[in-house]
Structure 1
Amino acid sequence: MLTDTIGTILYEGKVYEGNDLDDMVELKDRVNGLIVDHVVKNNGGVVVGFAGEIESEGFYFIDPNESSMYGPTGFIFVDEKYLKNFPTIYGERTNSSVWFSKTNELYDELTNNSLFGKGKFKTSGYFLVYNYGMGWGPGGVLNEIISLDEDYKNLFTVEGGKSVGNSGIADDFVVVNYTVYDENDGLKEREYYYINNEYPKKVIIPVEYNYHYNLKEVINDNEFILQTEGYDEALDNVNMSSPHEIKCTITSEGILTEKIN
């Protein structure tokens, strides 16, 4: 029975309407079918942990490298229609994605399917942080792979220590970076790919590998802009920067790029 004693009062937990919490949250409270199983409060800050599974759908990205800061990890970037399944506190989420570690064989199943793909999942270990602390590691646990989109199978394979990252998600496409570092964490290789959501295949974006680009703007169905802060990661000294933007044009022959700023 999910009850506890606070003072002389038997506390069974309140049920929140909707999915938004406040700093009055306590252990055993319920929201969105989840049960609060961890609460820390200090100087106006709150950390809230939950017991229970959350269903979501979205793109996933895998970093399989043991040498990464948190070891092998993955992100699920949750589709907007599933965000309502994730509680908020004062209208805020700590993450709009699920950051999970390698804790079971499901991680390997995703990795072997493709380092980047799309699927539907059940995860646990969700938590919220409000005005508390400076940074948090991966807390999610992958409990079930409900389905995987077969169109993404083997799109990005495990090879030579490579990992994939999210460089931008638009309504119709995703920009994926495919990166490998050397044993000293120096940038060795990075490629950028355009992946159309309707017909998923890798289309390389010809840009310099040593800059970290992100999607800035979608101009129209055939044009978009990437931007970078301009730090040359191939150099030992990265204090100097050269911020710039790249206009990308989708053609039948591939993607054409032009430096515009």
Structure 2
Amino acid sequence: MTDGDGASGTGDGGEGAARVRESLLALRDSRGYVLPHRGLMAAALPELHAAYGAMYRALTVQQGHLPPLERECVWLGILVACDEPVGTHHLALFRQHGGDDRQAAALFRQTAWAIGAEAHAFLPRSWEAHFPGLDAAALFREGAAALGADGALPDSTARLLRLAVLAARGNLWALGVELEAAYAAGLDERRMAEAVSLIIWPRGVNPFVRAADTWLALLRSGRVRPSAAFAAWAEAGEQGPLALERGARTGARAPGG
């Protein structure tokens, strides 16, 4: 398909070009910058662009369950864990909401500890029989607590940061350990959920799905006492991917997320 000037495009000519310009100008005016993928969606996928904007606002702009500084601490941990330097606006927000170098140093320590959780996961996975006296989960929790002993970050913020980093990195053993510890510490499930949900933006939906599956397994294990809403989630049946029989035609409906 070509626009009126013969160039490949959406087919709506000058109106489409004006819409793209207006959309990007509005973004730049409201945020001070525009990343190039917004222009790509505005030019070719306007419905996706609108839905993307709504989801972005819900995840990163609108006030949720996390206080602003706590949310930005979690965001910085996620970006480090995902090796994503592009999110510099979160650095600005961290400073804007009162974040300082002492807190930044603390969140880097906690992020590094969570990234290194695979070393602790190795013990129960491979060498548990050789070290029967060692509790890998306790070792992981004790190390994180020691790193936070200076109090630069509130304990709840450090816990939420580790939850998000572990979900982003896909270390599901350590994520389960942290989730159980968070319940023991009395953290609000809604704050926990918001922290983990932030990984959707830099990491993608599938790691979030796996994190939710780990959480669901913990709820169903009986080792924690969830709220009524989370208990209802745990009790709901048939949660998981579409089950296929080998060689059978699926006849599946369109994906619903």
Task: Considering fraction of residues, name the structure with more helix.
Answer: 2
Measured against the shorter chain, the TM-score band is under 0.3
TM norm structure 2 = 0.25
TM norm structure 1 = 0.25
